[in-house]
Structure 1
Amino acid sequence: MTRSYLRPTAFLDTPIGFDGQVARLAGGLLWHSAYELIEADGDRRVSKRLVPVSDAASLPDEVQPLIQRLAAPRPSLELGPRTIRFDQPQVAAILNMTPDSFSDGGTHLDGPEAAAEAGVRAAGEGAALIDVGGESTRPGAETVWHGDEIARVVPVIERLARAGIAVSIDTRKAEVMEAALAAGAAIVNDVSALLYDDRALDTVVRSGCPVILMHAGDPRNLHTRTLGPDPLLQVYDWLEARVAAVEAAGVPRARIIVDPGIGFGKSLADNLALLNGLALFQGLGCALMLGVSRKRMIGALSNEAPADRRLGGSVALAVSGAMLGAQILRVHDVPETVQALRVWRGLRDRALTGP
């Protein structure tokens, strides 16, 4: 059975002077003048063509809901005293309370006070969200008992929450989610998209918190290769199914964030295809998180640079993601990424003032 997809493309600096010829993407800072209409039969693309935004009404009825989702603003997240708006890209700071994460393992193990200070510092540098994790998800990492994971993250979350900082908990385990939410975390970030733990979905539904659903190779083996010849469409379909399931369980779509899972069960070619086609995921009608900071693909593209020498590539990919509509950028290097986004925002603002 043939299925249709729409990818926004032909982006312009400004909509000024192009009435009826451009569409705003997800209520943000981007305007595009065309859609790539992709037709696929199973896992095989059968056709693609560019359709001007001005001709959108002529597109088949089945893609009209996609056009509406692509344009609809992503609602802000109200997280107690903090509000995260998605009319411009936001930064989520990575705070790993682990000894073995691929890039920063052991960095924040001097105690919860020092780790919380690092989180407060990241917030002061411009991070809208601090993403706290207690289990490494690098290839070959050992599974951590939920009690140990709780002991690692809860004292830090409590301190950050008391400081009025928005916190997400990066975990696959319902017990950790419950403890973190009780400690003041406001968002669950699950790399298994609530599939690793049978209680995870109910935990999120009962709490009413927003959730980040990430695509990975397999819920129990995150780096299993499962993608075929068209990773972009395959990841889109998978996330679409997860969003539908989580929404049906009781989480409003406005409180679901999706993440294509760069580096999880994906080859370099897969990752590049996902990054180039990133705007397609806006058709899900959810805010989009992108995590590319210091990842292996940067080393693969830059003479095998080690993790601590990947700042330039990380910032380049973050800005590229922002230019294709990513609403949240999950990063290690907060001030550098925030600065890059502010410069990019300045370019957008100037374009909106006229010629």
Structure 2
Amino acid sequence: MRAHDPTGRNGVRIGPREFDFARQIAVMAIVNRTPDSFYDQGRTDALDLAVAAAEEAIVEGADWIDIGGAKFAPGPAVPVQDEIDRVVPVVEALRGAGVVLSVDTFQPGVARAALAAGAHVINDTTGIHDPAMADVVAEAGAAIVITHSKAAPRTAYPSPTYDDVVDEVVAFLRDRIALAEARGVASDRIIVDPGHDLNKHTLDSLELTRRLDEVVALGHPTLVALSNKDFVGESLGRRDRHQRVEGSIAAAVYAVTRGARIVRVHNVRETVDAMRMIEAIEGWREPAYLEHNR
């Protein structure tokens, strides 16, 4: 894997962190304040538990905390104020922790409140379904993750089909990047995510992983959210969400070899070790210490 910055830039500042994506992989830890989250099923729904989980992730080496108050999957709408009440106290508690803080939301009102509270990034898994989201991000001078998905927020999209999933994802992201820039979001504030498993079958997600370099070629930092997803379980043999750690890390490592530079994960310590090992092998990072055969 040759050392290069897939964004075409020497360094990217996101919140309090400066990332050199020619030599660095950012690990984003997931902290959800939802009673029905995909992986933890409400384990961090309470404020104190959410903050404690974030602090533990930081100790384990996370560069970034992604805070969610409403899951992507279909379900009843979460009122904007309820979502604000879930995510803003976590942002406030972690402000000044020295890591990037993002909020996973598709609601411009939630984004405005979160950015005012100290968040640095909005992670919009609906790919700016509401163009007002771009306005909010632009006004704050914040960054945005633009993710590919087909469905309207919180709605089902059964049996999605693609002529060529990678071509369609790239075209969608290119269009949404143009929308964000037209509404004032700076180009260096845009991150892209191909949206593994979001309105996609397992074969689609595998194809996206194999051809991730075509997404990277858009010229923006590429985030992959692979952690414990169904395409990992189905690839390995009906593994439930708590038996997918190894497969998730393998997928993340492969994605990094194709140019991903931000990985969104549940299992922080294990993923941090895998990413730091890549950096050491590539010569991007010095070993923590040198004693063997000294």
Q: Same fold (TM over 0.5)?
A: yes
The residue number in structure 2 matching 1:302 is 236
Q: Does 1:123 align with 2:58?
A: yes
- The runs of at least 4 aligned residues of structure 1 exceeding 6 Å deviation read none
**What displacement does 1:223 show?**
4.0
Partner of 1:202: 135
CA-based RMSD: 2.1
Q: Equivalent residues in 2 for 1:259-338 (5 A)? A: 259-338=193-272
SS of residue matched to 2:199: coil
Question: How far has the Cα of 1:193 moved from its partner?
Answer: 1.6
Deviation at 1:274, TM superposition (A): 0.4
Q: Secondary structure at the match of 1:284?
A: coil
Asked if residue 219 in structure 1 is aligned to residue 155 in structure 2, the reply is no
* Paired position in structure 2 for 1:257: 191
TM-superposed CA distance for 1:156, in Å, is: 0.9
Taking the TM superposition and a 5 Å limit, the aligned residue runs for 1:164-179 are 164-179=98-113
| TM alignment of 1:1-355, pairs within 5 A | 13=1, 25=4, 27=5, 72-73=8-9, 75-79=11-15, 81-87=16-22, 88-109=24-45, 111-138=46-73, 140-195=74-129, 197-220=130-153, 221=155, 223=157, 225-349=159-283
Q: TM-score, normalised by structure 2?
A: 0.90
Give structure 2 stretches of 5+ with no counterpart: 287-294
- The separation in 2 between residues aligned to 1:210 and 1:155, in whole angstroms, is 20
Residues 71 and 149 of structure 1: CA distance in aligned 2, closer, same or farther (over 3 Å): closer
The 8 Å contact of residues 134 and 185 in structure 2, kept in 1 or not, is answered as no
Give the C-alpha shift of residue 164 in structure 1: 3.4
Deviations 1:100-138 (A, max 9, x none): 1121121112x3233212112211211111000000113
Count how many residue pairs are aligned between Structure 1 and Structure 2. Answer: 284
Shift of 1:225: 4.8
How much has 1:227 moved relative to structure 2? 4.0
Are residues 227 and 287 of structure 1, via their aligned partners in 2, closer, same or farther at CA, if it must alter by over 3 Å?
A: farther
- Greater RCO, CA 8 A, separation 6+: 2
SS at the partner of 1:287? coil
Report SS of the residue matched to 2:236.
coil
Q: What code does the residue aligned with 1:142 have? A: P
Change (3 A) 1:146 1:215: same
Higher strand content, 1 or 2:
1
1:78 CA displacement? 4.0
The structure number with the bigger radius of gyration is 1
- Aligned-partner SS, 1:294: coil
Counterpart amino acid of residue 47 in structure 2: P
